Amino acid sequence: MSRTLEQNKDQSTLTPQEWAQCLIYFDGACAYCGCTTKKGQRLTKDHLKPLSEGGATAAHNVVPACGRCNQAKGATDFRDWMMSQDNFSQERLNRVYRWRAIMVQLPAQDK
């Protein structure tokens, strides 16, 4: 098959269980701004490393983000983007790092 170059679409290894775990880890709040969503709104799955940069839809690369952050961040590096925000919180950034570190260590179904 033509699985070439940076085109990694539909390479999702994120399970519903992992996503649920992710939401719990981040207290059901946006990983970037810490806002909690109102009823009816859902947190989106945001890629730490954008898909366009070769990032995977895997637990270690996905965090919950509110629609506003997801849109605003776009394909920007999450560190740069978070640090550029008025409401930047080192604690939240560390939490993202920790999530990624935890999930990277777990045996994933991918690879």
Residues that bind Zn ion (CB under 5 A): 30, 32-33, 66, 69
Of 17 and 22, the one with the shorter C-beta distance to Zn ion is 22
CB of 61 to Zn ion, least distance (A): 17
Of 59 and 69, the one with the shorter C-beta distance to Zn ion is 69
Question: Distances in Å between the alpha carbon of 76 and those of 3, 37, 51, 84?
Answer: 25, 23, 11, 11
| Cα gap 36→43, rounded to integer Å | 8
CB of 67 to Zn ion, least distance (A): 8
Query: What distance, in Å, lies between the first and last C-alpha atoms of the chain?
Result: 17
CB of 25 to Zn ion, least distance (A): 16
Of 74 and 107, the one with the shorter C-beta distance to Zn ion is 74
Tokens 């994120």 correspond to 14
